[in-house]
Chains A and B, each alone.
Chain A
Amino acid sequence: MDIKIKKVEEINVVELAGDIDASTAPPVQEKVLPLAEPQAKILIDMSKVPFMSSAGLRVLLSVHRQATAREAQLVLVGLSEEIQDTMSVTGFLEFFTTCDTQESGLEALKNA
Chain B
Amino acid sequence: MERIDSQPTHKYGDFKLRRGRPLPFGANIVPGGVNFSIFSSYATSCTLVLFQKHASEPMAEIPFPDEFRIGNVFSMIVFDLDYENIEYGYRMDGPFNPKEGQWFDSSKVLMDPYAKLIGGRDIWGKTPDWSDIYHHRARIALDDFDWEDDRPLEIDPEDQIIYEMHVRSFTRHPSSGVKHLGTFAGIRAKIPYLKELGVNAIELMPVYEFDEFENSRPNPVKPGEMLLNYWGYSTVGFFAPKAGYAATGKLGMQMDEFKTLVKDLHRNGIEVILDVVFNHTAEGNENGPYISFRGIDNKTYYMLTPDGYYFNFSGCGNTLNCNNPIVRNMVLDCLRYWAAEYHIDGFRFDLASILGRDPWGAPLQNPPLLETLAFDPILAKCKLIAEAWDAGGLYQVGSFPAFGRWAEWNGKYRDSIRKFLKGDGTVGDIAQRLQGSPDLYAWEGRGPATSINFITAHDGFTLMDLVSYNGKHNEANGENNNDGTNDNDSWNCGWEGPTDAPGINALRKRQMKNAVAILMVSQGVPMILMGDEVGRTQHGNNNTYCHDNELNWQDWNLLKTNADLFKFFKHCIAFRKAHPVLRNRHHFQNRDYAGSGYADITWHGTQAWNADWSPSSRTLAFMLCGKHAKAATVTDNYIYVAMNMHWESHWFEIPGLPPGMQWRVFANTGAPSPEDSWEPGQEQVLDNQHGLLLGDRSVVILVGK
A-B contact count (CB 8 A): 55
Residue contact A95 to B146, C-beta cutoff 8 Å: yes
Interface flag for B625 (CB, 8 Å): no
Interface flag for B260 (CB, 8 Å): yes
Checking B184, B188, B251 against A86 with a beta-carbon cut-off of 8 angstroms, the contacting residue is: B251
- Assuming A22-B83, A54-B251, is B180 touching A89 (CB within 8 A)? yes
Chain A residues near B263: list those with CB within 8 A. 91
Interface flag for B247 (CB, 8 Å): yes
Residue contact B84 to A55, C-beta cutoff 8 Å: yes
In the assembled complex, the CB of A28 is this many whole angstroms from the nearest CB of chain B, namely 14
Checking B84, B85, B146, B260 against A89 with a beta-carbon cut-off of 8 angstroms, the contacting residue is: B260
Residue contact B260 to A91, C-beta cutoff 8 Å: yes
Residue contact B179 to A90, C-beta cutoff 8 Å: no
Residue contact A21 to B84, C-beta cutoff 8 Å: yes
Chain A residues near B257: list those with CB within 8 A. 89-91
Chain A residues near B264: list those with CB within 8 A. 91
Within 8 A of B (CB), among A1-44: 21-23
Q: What 1/0 flags go to B384-417 for Cβ under 8 Å of A?
A: 0000000000000000000000000000000000
Q: What 1/0 flags go to B54-97 for Cβ under 8 Å of A?
A: 00000000000000000000000000001111000000000000
In the assembled complex, the CB of A76 is this many whole angstroms from the nearest CB of chain B, namely 16
Residue contact B142 to A55, C-beta cutoff 8 Å: yes
Chain B residues near A58: list those with CB within 8 A. 142, 144
In the assembled complex, the CB of A51 is this many whole angstroms from the nearest CB of chain B, namely 9
In this complex, what residue of A is CB-closest to B142? A54
Q: What 1/0 flags go to B145-178 for Cβ under 8 Å of A?
A: 1100000000000000000000000000000000
- Give Cα A57–Cα B252 distance, bound, in whole angstroms: 13
Interface flag for A99 (CB, 8 Å): no
- Give Cα A72–Cα B251 distance, bound, in whole angstroms: 31
Chain A residues near B256: list those with CB within 8 A. 54, 57, 90-92
Residue contact B180 to A53, C-beta cutoff 8 Å: no
Interface flag for B318 (CB, 8 Å): no
Chain A residues near B515: list those with CB within 8 A. none
Interface flag for B253 (CB, 8 Å): yes
Chain B residues near A21: list those with CB within 8 A. 84-85
Interface flag for B328 (CB, 8 Å): no
- Give Cα A60–Cα B693 distance, bound, in whole angstroms: 66
Interface flag for B628 (CB, 8 Å): no
Within 8 A of A (CB), among B212-257: 246-248, 251-253, 256-257
- Give Cα A21–Cα B252 distance, bound, in whole angstroms: 12
- Give Cα A15–Cα B323 distance, bound, in whole angstroms: 57
Interface flag for A107 (CB, 8 Å): no
Chain B residues near A53: list those with CB within 8 A. 84, 251-252
Checking B84, B180, B259 against A54 with a beta-carbon cut-off of 8 angstroms, the contacting residue is: B84
Q: Which of A21, A54, A90 has the most CB of B within 10 A?
A: A90
Interface flag for A71 (CB, 8 Å): no
- Give Cα A23–Cα B84 distance, bound, in whole angstroms: 9
Interface flag for B185 (CB, 8 Å): yes
In this complex, what residue of A is CB-closest to B146? A61
- Give Cα A95–Cα B85 distance, bound, in whole angstroms: 26
In this complex, what residue of A is CB-closest to B262? A91
Chain A residues near B85: list those with CB within 8 A. 21-23
Within 8 A of A (CB), among B295-347: none
- Assuming A22-B83, A54-B84, is B247 touching A89 (CB within 8 A)? yes
Chain A residues near B82: list those with CB within 8 A. 22-23
- Give Cα A95–Cα B256 distance, bound, in whole angstroms: 14
Chain B residues near A91: list those with CB within 8 A. 145-146, 256-257, 259-260, 263-264
- Give Cα A89–Cα B245 distance, bound, in whole angstroms: 12
- Give Cα A67–Cα B187 distance, bound, in whole angstroms: 32
Chain A residues near B185: list those with CB within 8 A. 89
- Give Cα A65–Cα B144 distance, bound, in whole angstroms: 13
- Give Cα A53–Cα B253 distance, bound, in whole angstroms: 9
Checking A23, A65, A86 against B248 with a beta-carbon cut-off of 8 angstroms, the contacting residue is: A86
- Assuming A55-B142, A86-B253, is B84 touching A22 (CB within 8 A)? yes
Within 8 A of B (CB), among A41-84: 53-55, 57-58, 61, 65
Interface flag for A100 (CB, 8 Å): no
Residue contact B248 to A89, C-beta cutoff 8 Å: yes
- Give Cα A61–Cα B145 distance, bound, in whole angstroms: 10
In the assembled complex, the CB of A34 is this many whole angstroms from the nearest CB of chain B, namely 21
In this complex, what residue of B is CB-closest to A55? B84
- Give Cα A85–Cα B247 distance, bound, in whole angstroms: 10
Chain B residues near A86: list those with CB within 8 A. 248, 251, 253
- Give Cα A90–Cα B142 distance, bound, in whole angstroms: 13
In the assembled complex, the CB of B565 is this many whole angstroms from the nearest CB of chain A, namely 32
- Assuming A90-B260, A91-B263, is B146 touching A54 (CB within 8 A)? no
- Give Cα A13–Cα B85 distance, bound, in whole angstroms: 30
Q: What 1/0 flags go to B115-153 for Cβ under 8 Å of A?
A: 000000000000000000000000000101110000000
Residue contact A85 to B179, C-beta cutoff 8 Å: yes
- Give Cα A94–Cα B680 distance, bound, in whole angstroms: 35
- Give Cα A22–Cα B251 distance, bound, in whole angstroms: 13
Chain A residues near B144: list those with CB within 8 A. 58
Residue contact B84 to A90, C-beta cutoff 8 Å: no
- Give Cα A58–Cα B83 distance, bound, in whole angstroms: 14
**23 pairs of residues in contact across A and B, judged by CB atoms under 8 Å:** A22-B83, A22-B84, A22-B85, A23-B84, A23-B85, A53-B251, A53-B252, A54-B253, A55-B84, A55-B142, A58-B142, A58-B144, A65-B146, A89-B180, A89-B185, A89-B188, A89-B253, A89-B257, A89-B260, A90-B257, A91-B145, A91-B256, A92-B256
14 extra interface residue pairs, beta carbon distance < 8 Å, beyond A86-B248, A89-B248: A21-B84, A21-B85, A22-B82, A23-B82, A23-B84, A54-B84, A54-B252, A57-B256, A58-B142, A86-B251, A89-B247, A90-B257, A91-B259, A91-B264
Chain A to chain B: the 6 pairs with minimum beta-carbon distance, closest first: A91-B260, A22-B84, A90-B256, A89-B185, A89-B247, A90-B253
